[in-house]
Structure 1
């Protein structure tokens, strides 16, 4: 899993050495770990890559200043965890602003870390000698929230979600409203209602607070039956349209040119046997299957399980006719 790279920063800071296998994950384009390695080297780590493994050593990490070439969420979080126990001050410029970064920083602060500016472009970490245990409640998963919102809209449903963070989904909520879907927000409650055929909308994925790349595929599934033609530009990952071929099997009218997808809305999708090739693409196939006429089978659900806990239970509770079949 790509998440394995997140062990590098905290283990290196705590034990002075860590050996990791090079991470894998969904095949959605290049996901280089150069930003992570560069950050650890800037903090004073010696890194060697041999035979598919990464060996990092450091007698003691030291504060530094680094500017990320791209506001990478993973690299920002790895540096936050490593710098929290480093000597001196670390300044991260062009840091990722995603809610998950800010939430991690708040958790580290609750453990005793000294961090300022999380959620902004520049983050300052003043290293301390040790962290302590704490109790902490993490933020709701905005991608799971957004996926259920899109499933409700795609099926012309009426769903109310509690315990959400609407401010983390501003771009998605706006695009749903632009398409004609009614989205009402009240503190931590989001209600999604779609009574008529939605209108086509265009969007471009971008780092937060832009439209999240992780909801590009589910939103495409929603737009597959919208009125008109939508244009989607994927600016984060260059190979994140693998779900398009499967949507075509369900009757969608979509064409792809490099990083741009043209979605021409059709009246109705039809059930088919499709296969998930990655996490968010698999979620898109679920959204499409719920909206399609007839029965669909989605294979490769182990991809979906990496990002959604008991998704079939959640959808069934909302009235979906869905079941998991163990083959």
Structure 2
């Protein structure tokens, strides 16, 4: 089994390509719903953009130079991913106008985005309907951004705004997740000089402008690979999942090994080789933002694996998306799961429970994939509604489970 390119890494890279006055080709780009929506947004905003070439389940995307063609474009609201395009649009148009998002969490996250823009000297205005940003006058002065805590989205926005303005950036409390690291690696290829430390990101623009084209290959989808590994684990099977860097799934592999599930990583794969549950120890899982920490997007599938397969009492703490547990636990209860305690951001579960098939609802992709993992371990038939949330993030995900041997049928 081979995973597609990473959707989460593709979105910031597409936005970064739109900020550079150079031709950029992204390869191994997945044809997921989120990526297709971002490609549509680039087209609607009139960015010079060549159509994609299909390569099996992935695509190669080429974005042209001279982004000033989008000066007269209207900024459509296409979800949170579209916020990554605002730095490019500010550079091209001089201002943007956006409505507030619908969720409270997204609105709180945008508050951090506005801190970033204000640090760059941009004029920020808000009212009951939304927010407006007017770009500051061009300058080469360094920018210092102090985030109150590490934020994936705000860190990426700060980097993209620095790219668009070609100003030196000093970002305090940066995120250290895969998405930001992939973005920084791509920008280094474009000549940006970057140092990422524990609490400070320093970035300087290229010493001279370059015009030659760039090729940015995307890594394999570590989130998808980890979820598939959990699916194999709960069925007692064995599989090698390729196309993912081992370092991006090492924390998940370590947790599965502690749970008695034999898991190994290599340079480009994660392998599950059955289980010896007599060696399992209770898991105490804490998600984090640094490379090597368990990714918050792996946690729901691991929770489902522990609940159904790994003996002992396990504790899961997700301080990054602390309210995700509530929606997932409600649906797991329909399968007969007993969750002993759940107070955000922590929940405690007893592992090795026998679940019974039922009808459950997917309300977002990570909880939905966790429900699929739990359904594979449950007795009888489970019906999952809201499958579109999963397919939006992971193209042909149920087909990949079928390839691994799962008995899954999509119904209208």
**TM-score w.r.t. structure 2 length?**
0.73
Q: Residue in 2 aligned with 1:223?
A: 306
Q: 2:331 aligns with which of 246, 254, 265?
A: 246
Give, in whole Å, the separation in 2 of the partners of 1:293 and 1:119: 48
Q: Residue in 2 aligned with 1:303?
A: 389
Give, in whole Å, the separation in 2 of the partners of 1:246 and 1:159: 28
**CA-to-partner distance for each residue in 1:13-42, whole Å, 9 max, x for gaps?**
3432222333457x8787521221111111
Q: Residue in 2 aligned with 1:190?
A: 270
Give, in whole Å, the separation in 2 of the partners of 1:49 and 1:150: 44
Q: Residue in 1 aligned with 2:162?
A: 83
Q: Is the 8 A contact 2:257 2:263 kept in 1?
A: yes
Change (3 A) 1:131 1:152: farther
Unaligned runs of 5+ in 2: 1-78
Q: Is the 8 A contact 2:249 2:265 kept in 1?
A: no
Q: Is the 8 A contact 1:164 1:188 kept in 2?
A: yes
The question of 1:153 aligning with 2:239 is answered no
Kindly tell me the number of residue pairs found equivalent between the two proteins: 324
Give, in whole Å, the separation in 1 of the partners of 2:105 and 2:294: 17
Q: Is the 8 A contact 1:183 1:193 kept in 2?
A: yes
3-state SS of the aligned residue for 1:32?
helix
Q: Residue in 1 aligned with 2:52?
A: none
The question of 1:66 aligning with 2:151 is answered no
Aligned runs of 1:103-252 on 2, under 5 Å?
A: 103-110=182-189, 112-118=190-196, 121-127=199-205, 133-197=213-277, 199-209=281-291, 210-225=293-308, 226-241=310-325, 242-252=327-337
**CA-to-partner distance for each residue in 1:203-240, whole Å, 9 max, x for gaps?**
11222232211122111110112212111112112311
Q: Is the 8 A contact 1:202 1:230 kept in 2?
A: yes
Unaligned runs of 5+ in 1: none
Change (3 A) 1:24 1:104: farther
Q: Is the 8 A contact 1:3 1:23 kept in 2?
A: no
Q: 2:123 aligns with which of 24, 31, 46?
A: 46
Residue 193 of structure 1: how far off its partner (Å):
2.1
Give, in whole Å, the separation in 1 of the partners of 2:175 and 2:198: 7
Give, in whole Å, the separation in 2 of the partners of 1:46 and 1:135: 34
Which 4+ runs in 1 deviate beyond 4 A? 27-31, 128-133, 196-199
**TM-score w.r.t. structure 1 length?**
0.91
Instruction: Kindly indicate whether structure 1 or structure 2 has the higher relative contact order, using CA contacts under 8 Å at least 6 residues apart.
Output: 2
Residue 173 of structure 1: how far off its partner (Å):
1.3
Residue 277 of structure 1: how far off its partner (Å):
2.0
Q: Identify the range of structure 1 (121-130 vs 149-158) with the bigger mean alpha-carbon deviation.
A: 121-130
What is the CA RMSD across the aligned residues, in angstroms?
2.3
Residue 156 of structure 1: how far off its partner (Å):
1.2
